Structure formats: C-alpha cells, structure tokens
Amino acid sequence: MNCRAIAFDLDDTLLRDDLSVSDFTVDTLREVARRGVRVIPCSGRARDSMLPIVRRIGCADCFVACNGSEVWSAGGELLHRSLLTTDTTRDIAAFGRRHGVYMQTYQGAHFYFTEEGYWADAYARSSMLTGFFTPDLEGFLAAHDICKILMMGEVEHIAAMLREGQPLFAGRASVTCSKPYFLEFNPPDSNKAHGLEIAGKLFGFTLGETMAFGDSLNDLSMLQAAGCGVCVANAREDVRAQVGRVCPSNGEDGVARYLRQTLLQDSAKEVCP
C-alpha cells in the first residue's frame, strides 16, 4: 500500500501496561513522520487525557479523541466535534441507572461521575484527569454539550449491557467497549474510522492510505477501514478474528516493531530496542 498516514490506539496498543511510551517507540514514530507520513493518535480518551501523550510523541499532526467524536490539532485546538442529543443522554443515563453501574462524562480537563470509590479513583490515576462527584448526572448532561458517556462495571455485566445497548440505541448512539469493564456511548456517526476520515480530509490522506493499530472493539472500525489494519498480540480475540494482521504486544513495543519491519524496512536486528 501507499502509506500516507499511521493511526494508533493508545491504551493497550501504543502505551505499555504502565501507561508509558518507550523511547524506542517515540524514535520510531518521529522517523515515520520525518519520512512524510502523517501520525494520528486515535483514542477513546478525552482531549486533556491525550495531550500529555501527544506531547511525549512529539510528531502527531492531529489526534482523534472520544472514539472519533472529536478531532483536535496537535496543540489542542478543536477541529471537529459531534454531540449526543439531550434526549439521548437522558435515556443513556436512565439505562445506566437501571443497571446500577458507575457512570461518568467529560468537560474540559475534568470528568464528572456518579459514585465515589474504586472506579473513579482508578480512572483518575489512569487518565490524568481530575474527577468531580456529580450525583445528579442527568442534570449535568442536560446542561452541557456531551460527546461521550462512560459506564464501568464487572466484565460479564458490561458484556450483557453491550448486547442490550447496541440495538436499544441503534441510530441514536454508538455503543462500544475499549476495555472489558468499560461501556462507551458516543454520537451515532462517531467511531474511530469516521474521526480518522475527517482527519484525512484535513491533512491529505484517505483511509485506504492509512496503516492502523488497535486492540479492542472501539478500534475495529478503523482497523477494518484502513488500507492496512494491525492488531497487537494482546488484542481481544473477537477483534483479532476480524483483522488479519498481528504485531507484537503493547508490552513489546509492537506498533514500533511493526513499523520498523514494514514501513521503515529495518533489519530484524535493528528492530530490537
């Protein structure tokens, strides 16, 4: 393929399990950029949770946030946003209340959550965002522009909610998972392929000219739409089954190794950090 852009998920794909980006990966991405290929991080994270990672990489042309609901410049200026309707956010919140799960949404550098304790604390640590307890989440949703609602719970419960929620909100919201214990709601036209397509129109590439990397259900749209879709070895089995190519795991700098071996065409010896 004529690769003019690379797109990659962050958590469990580019980031190691300790949420770091290795020097080897940074050097690889910067070499890709030096050769004229666009570098586009694509995550379910919100803008302010992605910005420190974008700055660490140092060569992104723009980034796709909130599962494709937003596209931002590398400096954090909004280029595109899709929103959930107020009626839909109300019904999503009612769905979460009925199932008795933790819920949160986002505004700027903060997240707003319904239950204090484990889920909120863990999310604050992993996202680098500050959270605020918001028991009247429905009122908050009605008063703000919303592009993502996140629910958290036990893996089996979230899987059951995904099966129920996708047909229930068909045409009103995109329902997906980035981790087995996350259930994510975005506007109906929002997924990573759509966000990446918008980035391509702004920066001069098509999905067919893109190499994309991911691990989970919220990555599947861009993995299937890209000219070359690649799963990390630690990807969900149901995602791997639908994507033919596999690279080493996130803990082995799999994205960078694959880029070295294919796009940069380094020898096997040079691939090892």
Distance of alpha carbon 256 from alpha carbon 248, whole angstroms: 9
| Among candidate residues 138, 179, 228, 200, the one with its CA nearest the CA of residue 10 | 179
Position 270 scores a pLDDT of: 43
Position 272 scores a pLDDT of: 35
Based on the fold, state whether residues 179 and 202 are members of the same structural domain: no
Based on the fold, state whether residues 150 and 221 are members of the same structural domain: no
Based on the fold, state whether residues 50 and 171 are members of the same structural domain: no
Distance of alpha carbon 127 from alpha carbon 33, whole angstroms: 26
Based on the fold, state whether residues 99 and 175 are members of the same structural domain: yes
Chunk the chain into consecutive blocks of 10 residues (it has 273) and report each block's average pLDDT, rounded to whole numbers.
94 98 98 97 97 98 98 97 98 98 96 98 96 97 98 98 98 97 97 98 97 98 97 96 95 98 71 37
Q: CB-based contacts of 205: which residues, under 8 Å, 6+ apart?
A: 4, 5, 38
Based on the fold, state whether residues 207 and 249 are members of the same structural domain: yes
Based on the fold, state whether residues 181 and 245 are members of the same structural domain: no
What's the total number of domains in the chain? 2
Residue 38 structural domain:
5-81+190-271
Note whether 187 and 83 are within 8 A (CB): yes
Distance of alpha carbon 75 from alpha carbon 84, whole angstroms: 25
Based on the fold, state whether residues 67 and 97 are members of the same structural domain: no
| Phi–psi pair at 141, nearest 5 degrees | -60, -40
| Phi–psi pair at 100, nearest 5 degrees | 65, 35
Based on the fold, state whether residues 12 and 38 are members of the same structural domain: yes
Is residue 135 classed exposed, middle or buried when 0-12, 13-18 and 19+ CB atoms within 10 A define those classes? Answer: exposed
| Phi–psi pair at 80, nearest 5 degrees | -160, 145
DSSP string, 41-110: EB-SS-HHHHHHHHHHH---SEEEEGGGTEEEETTS-EEEE----HHHHHHHHHHHHHHT-EEEEEETTE
Based on the fold, state whether residues 229 and 175 are members of the same structural domain: no
CATH number of the CATH domain containing 173: 3.30.1240.10
Based on the fold, state whether residues 77 and 196 are members of the same structural domain: yes
Q: Please provide the distance, in angstroms rounded to a whole number, between the alpha carbons at the two ends of the chain.
A: 26
Burial 235-270 (b: 16+ CB within 10 A, else e): bbeebbeebeeebbbbebbbbbbbbbebbbebeeee
Position 273 scores a pLDDT of: 37
Based on the fold, state whether residues 241 and 118 are members of the same structural domain: no
Stretch (H or E) spanning 104: strand 102-107
Six-digit token pair at 234? 């630690």
CATH number of the CATH domain containing 223: 3.40.50.1000
Based on the fold, state whether residues 108 and 71 are members of the same structural domain: no
Position 1 scores a pLDDT of: 72
